[in-house]
Amino acid sequence: MTGESTEATRPSGAETLGFQTEVKQLLHLMIHSLYSNKEIFLRELISNASDACDKLRFEAVSDPSLYEDESELAIQIDFDAEAGTITISDNGIGMSRQEVIEHLGTIAKSGTSEFLSRLSGDQRKDSSLIGQFGVGFYSSFIVADRVELLTRRAGLSTADGVHWESTGEGEFTIEPAEKAGRGTTVILHLRADDQEFADPYRLRNLIRRYSDHIGFPVRMLEQQFAPPAAEDGEEPAELPEPGYETVNAARALWTRPRTDIKDDEYIEFYKHISHDFQDPLSWSHNKVEGKREYTSLLYLPAKAPFDLYNREAPKGLKLYVQRVFIMDEADQFLPLFLRFVRGVVDSNDLSLNVSRELLQQDAHVEAIRSALTKRVLDMISKLANDEDPEKYQAFWNEFGTVMKEGPAEDSVNKDKIAGLLRFASTHTGEATQNVSLADYIGRMQEGQDKIYYITADNHNAAKASPHLEVFRKKGIEVLLLSDAIDEWVTAHLQEFDGKAFVDVGRGQLDLSEIGAADETSTDELNEANKALIERIAGVLGDAVKVVRATNRLTESPACLVVDEFDMGKQMRKVLEASGQKLPESKPILEINPTHALVEKLAAEQDEARFADLANVLFDQAALAEGQQPRDPGLFVQRLNKLLIDLST
């Protein structure tokens, strides 16, 4: 009988296991979308090898025995043109059997499956979308129809090596193997069409192009040239055994002076740390010396990742301490609203033993965080002031809703963030958010000292709202806010450049100081229409807080207003969706006494018909705001009754 428990810890034979569904989907999509980008497999594998060396160096800080007898970390690339193979080896951390199964059989990112299955036909061919994934190791299968991997985790015995193999079609085989040196060796058996990669010039070229910035040497066999022709009677000169030589610069990019680094190198480095396939929008590289010493290299990506709003999505910077990699996703160095920023921070002041918990309380971290936040905001401001406005627009379209979390999260930088915000507005009428608060203020009317905005569920409802009528008449611009977070933004900002934010659908509206003072005051209107107002209030009863007359309407008979201190509609929705029970708040009904329908209502003698009309007036005011009538069926009945009356 085979002891099951020992089998579980160290199985002796080969085992065939299935890939997780997501991996199968990814492999399939990748092979079909990245065919024009094949060469990236080398970058991805070297990137993994470099990460593995980083991790070893980190673990060896507390356990130097992990170095065994080899403390120089390096990556080696070999090829065999005849056999059609490329081999990528590293002496990094390696993997245990369990790690191989977890890392090379599954994808840990949550939401992956939905994302992959949501991609439409065209998107499936779009390499940038698939690239959001950091296809990493799996990109081997773009050029290889069989991949072998031999690995041993540092610290385990030479008998604890693992051999993994797959043709990338749904399954992989895993078995124990002897491995003398620690680390990982990946052998790619190239597809018939991709034999071209097993070539020294091609490989050297790719290493220099994509992996020059890696902080470890990437080595290849020295190139040899044909021996000089033998002279008569002499044996041809023997060539010495070729040694390995370093092909890349082998110096971590951020440690080099800015002036020495080409844009292409910055771009490749971004791809290495972010696993993004697209070029970044911009970057900022800074070395700080003095009381605190650290270097940061921060990037703005061009595209938002699919899981930007997923709480568990990776965020934060790669942290190094004195060049030693400490951790990925160190999220203490930037506020949440800048979670899309990628990059590296390398501090000379932190301890090599720093943990996530310790980072949270460290004064250095706090100081670096506030400096990096300012750097990122400066980088974004620079983009906003770029002569090409499309650049900033592209940034805003991707990350604007996240930036809107800024004023609430970061009160210190509130004004700076406010200057970066963009909104849709009645000035353009477009759904694109492209109006800054400074633009708005620059277009304010004589006598106007407030920033007016309207909120609604969507852009069209905001744009069509009856509340805008008087603003249109007076030529006053109104910001059209339809993101769920917008009320949150205005609540936290309260003002910009001394101008208060005012919701045009809330409270009493006083525009008497702006434009021609030709309208009757609301007090006078209320007085003149007292009887009608009381009659309507009597019919609507509990459904409304107050009924009153208004001069804010020019074309519509009525509108709904939120009372001064009641919660706004968007905020209410967000809070209710998060499960909070909120006290009921009733709308105020404002009527336009000059509208024919309201005049007709005032003249109506038949009480039943008056009630129908008043109810329809109230429900259609809700409809005009993009809301539901209280009882849609009853609303239609009443409306039909009035229509029939009209035609008889």
How does DSSP assign 425-462, residue by residue?
ETTT--SS--B-HHHHHHTPPTT--EEEEEE-SSHHHH
Note whether 568 binds ligand ADP by CB under 6 A.
Answer: no
Nearest residue (CB) to ligand ADP, 48 versus 295: 48
If one asks whether residue 49 binds ligand ADP (CB under 6 A), the answer comes out as yes
φ/ψ of residue 38, rounded to 5: -55, -40
Q: In whole angstroms, how close is the CB of 108 to ligand ADP at the nearest point? A: 8
Site for ligand ADP in 132-151 (CB under 6 A): 134, 136-138
Residue least distant from ligand ADP (Cβ): 136
* Element at 381 (helix H, strand E): helix 363-384
Question: What are the DSSP E strand ranges found in 430-557?
Answer: 450-455, 479-481, 495-496, 499-503, 546-549
Report the residue number, 93 or 532, with the smaller CB distance to ligand ADP: 93
Is 103 a binding residue for ligand ADP by CB under 6 A? The answer is: yes
- Binder of ligand ADP out of 84, 92, 215, 505 (CB under 6 A): 92
Is 216:53 a contact under the CB 8 Å cutoff?
yes
Closer residue to ligand ADP (CB): 49 or 470: 49
Q: Assess 48 for contact with ligand ADP (CB under 6 A).
A: yes
With respect to ligand ADP, which residue has the nearer C-beta, 275 or 342? 275
Q: Which tokens sit at 414?
A: 């509130």
Residue 150 vs 220, nearer CB to ligand ADP: 150
Output Rg (C-alpha) for the chain, integer angstroms.
Answer: 33
Instruction: Judge contact between 17 and 101, C-beta under 8 A.
Output: yes
What count of other Cβ atoms lies within 10 Å of the Cβ of residue 459? 18
Q: Of the candidates 90, 160, 503, 625, which one interacts with ligand ADP according to CB under 6 A?
A: 90
The three-state secondary structure class of 182 is coil
**595 scored as a contact of ligand ADP (CB under 6 A):** no
Binding mask 176-205 for ligand ADP (x = CB under 6 A): --------x---------------------
The answer to whether the CB of 74 falls within 8 A of the CB of 219 is yes
Three-state secondary structure call for residue 609? helix
Q: Which residue has the tokens 């050029």?
A: 143
From residue 259 to residue 298, what is the string marking binding to ligand ADP with x (rule CB under 6 A)? ----------------x-----------------------
Shortest gap between Cβ of 137 and ligand ADP (angstroms)? 4
CB of 124 to ligand ADP, least distance (A): 20
* Cβ at position 421, least distance to ligand ADP in Å: 33
Binder among 74, 93, 188, 588 for ligand ADP (CB under 6 A): 93
Farthest CA pair distance, the chain: 130
Separation of alpha carbons 351 and 321, rounded Å: 7
Considering beta carbons, is residue 103 or 391 the nearer one to ligand ADP? 103
End-to-end CA distance of the chain: 95
Tell me whether strands 75-80 and 85-90 are parallel, antiparallel or unpaired.
antiparallel
- Span from 131-139, 351-359, 390-398, 474-482 in contact with ligand ADP (CB under 6 A): 131-139
Residues contributing to the site for ligand ADP (CB under 6 A) = 48-49, 52, 90, 92-95, 103-104, 134, 136-138, 184, 275
